[in-house]
Structure 1
């Protein structure tokens, strides 16, 4: 059989969030790309057909991501990868990092050392350290030391059409997040509130994007809020602190995991408010009840912003080995989207 394209993929999910990993069939970016962020820009501007092919229907769906393994640019890294989501190439993603590390170890691309395998991954946001708990040839959990996280703004007032003025925290955790207490909009992080959480979350995010543009001080190309996080208040349980969150990912769906970069952004906010200290255990839960165990390792600064070093730990499972192909006669070489799964309601006038 003749195919115009063949891509090897290992299916994987981290605490419920799909983060498949492309292991073959895609060549590296040109040598003129000196950083992983340069590679991100190359695939965004020159090879975005790959992202669309694997994530759009009929091969993909709205609630999934795909990671592209590539040679690293940082000599300290053992591998590099790009994170492809439905609407963007994320500079960093926690669940996708956990998926990628698990696939690298369980397929033997990085040798597994028991009880803990340590290595580095190169991302478009910077170098990320990995510590993987391993036994009997299985990667049981992955902890990653994220890039420094910091707060752009606390309690920023945003005028949202149809909702009025909303208090929004804006923080970087590897992506730029707007965070809002769900109760401030008379909502709860429960599946019964699902459609409303998605609709209102997207409306608030669009309002933030229209009124405020944070810029990363070390990479001005990273600018503007791209993700939205609903939060519930922090509570104390035993020897740790915990909270529930759900991240609304465009074009209108929930992150099934507790969201790693969203968790790092949340920890930066909690630390800035004096609610979470260095080395306190923080357990962050998703809308489906899955959990990341986290802590702040220390503090630093990023440009003018006080920042935290965060570690996030979670689990991933390989779900499939598949070959994605494109028939030359297929009328949808970059897939398609249908409004029942990819639609977000327009804001009121």
Structure 2
């Protein structure tokens, strides 16, 4: 199914659902969503109510939404309809002929370039909603155009039911290793920076006297945020494909278990405006695999299991092919996980509501 037809089909199905419900009296806009989660991390999919998005490419659409339609993100991500750690997606048309549809990712602060947990959920959603060609067993392929590039996902499909999803990343690479930053509370700290659709800083949480799985979330957030802020003043990021991709998305604390092991190794990602990923972080797993591969800690097609420090949810990841991304040696990484439905809602935006566009407590 072509990208434009997919977007139209989603809106048509949402309209059918809306007609079957009786909404309370209101005088404003209605936004309809389907909610899912992957490893505990929410994915709110807007299926109707989105105004027309202008732009000839996905990146220009992303800039247009950010500059001219950001209220949609605030309404869906922020209170009273969302919360500080809500995550969502907009389905849009793609200029790539091989893409089933384009995706814009959104969070408490803005718009990310890649999101693995959302890809895992969206792939299942697309097959369930028949937004791709006739599903095939044992897997159905879904091509998602993300701001970082084309991502190919594969969804288990047997007897009309969908299951686990896996995806192949855009080229993932290591940007820098053993970068020394200075943080007032902790002194000199060495960090690595790697790209898995977004740039992340990686550091062992023990350097801060913290346990990625057992310390208080607030303590982990404060330390990770300090790392992110210190790097922004120290490291000038660059991506060969587009400068739109050249920003630090967040900091990932690890348990330091980097050498290959059959035991799960833990991640906790703090991104955007101190937002905590409940999942092991799909693009973070991608970047961490690239880092481990470059350091000789993992081989091609050697599967590792990654555990969320927040929920104990599990993703698997492996480097499946070496490649290049501009001047960087890179790998294509496969990440897999399970997504589940949590609900569907119609949100009202009443004209007289002084808080209709949302708010966040800090």
TM-score, length basis structure 2: 0.89
Choose the corresponding residue for 2:128, options 106, 117, 120: 106
Counterpart check, 1:197 vs 2:224: no
Kindly state the Cα deviation for residue 216 of structure 1 after the two structures are TM-superposed. Answer: 1.0
Choose the corresponding residue for 2:188, options 158, 161, 165: 165
Report Cα offsets for 1:313-337 as digits up to 9, x if no partner: 1110111111111011110132111
Counterpart check, 1:263 vs 2:294: no
Distance 2:88 2:112 in 1: 11
Report Cα offsets for 1:186-223 as digits up to 9, x if no partner: 21112433221110100111011111121212101222
Which range moved further: 144-153 or 185-194? 185-194
Counterpart check, 1:73 vs 2:99: no
SS at match of 2:346: strand
- 1:17 paired residue number: 41
Report Cα offsets for 1:259-303 as digits up to 9, x if no partner: 000011101110111101111001111011111111111111111
- 1:179 paired residue number: 202
Which range moved further: 191-200 or 281-290? 191-200
Asked whether the 8 Å contact 2:123–2:142 carries over to 1, the reply is: no
Distance 2:53 2:124 in 1: 24
Kindly state the Cα deviation for residue 138 of structure 1 after the two structures are TM-superposed. Answer: 2.4
Distance 1:331 1:112 in 2: 45
Structure 2: 5+ residue runs without aligned partners? Answer: 1-24
Distance 1:137 1:16 in 2: 25
- 2:235 paired residue number: 212
Q: Compared with structure 1, are the counterparts of its residues 338 and 48 closer, same or farther at alpha carbon in structure 2 (3 Å cutoff)?
A: same
Q: How does 1:141-160 map to 2 (within 5 A)?
A: 141-160=164-183
Distance 2:27 2:160 in 1: 35
Report Cα offsets for 1:146-202 as digits up to 9, x if no partner: 111111100100011221110111111111101111112221112433221110100
- 2:32 paired residue number: 8
Choose the corresponding residue for 2:75, options 53, 58, 61: 53
- Give the aligned length: 335
Asked whether the 8 Å contact 2:259–2:298 carries over to 1, the reply is: no
SS at match of 2:243: coil
Asked whether the 8 Å contact 1:126–1:147 carries over to 2, the reply is: yes
Q: How does 1:226-245 map to 2 (within 5 A)?
A: 226-232=249-255, 233-234=257-258, 236-237=260-261, 240=262, 242-245=264-267
TM-score, length basis structure 1: 0.92
Distance 2:329 2:319 in 1: 13
Choose the corresponding residue for 2:152, options 126, 129, 133: 129
Choose the corresponding residue for 2:58, options 8, 13, 36: 36
Distance 2:347 2:182 in 1: 44
- 1:326 paired residue number: 349
Distance 1:307 1:191 in 2: 33
SS at match of 2:175: strand
Asked whether the 8 Å contact 1:20–1:66 carries over to 2, the reply is: yes
Distance 2:26 2:157 in 1: 41
Choose the corresponding residue for 1:225, options 221, 243, 248: 248
Asked whether the 8 Å contact 2:108–2:275 carries over to 1, the reply is: no
SS at match of 1:199: helix
CA RMSD of aligned residues (A): 1.4
Distance 1:338 1:184 in 2: 30
Which range moved further: 228-237 or 144-153? 228-237
Kindly state the Cα deviation for residue 235 of structure 1 after the two structures are TM-superposed. Answer: 5.2
Kindly state the Cα deviation for residue 119 of structure 1 after the two structures are TM-superposed. Answer: 2.3
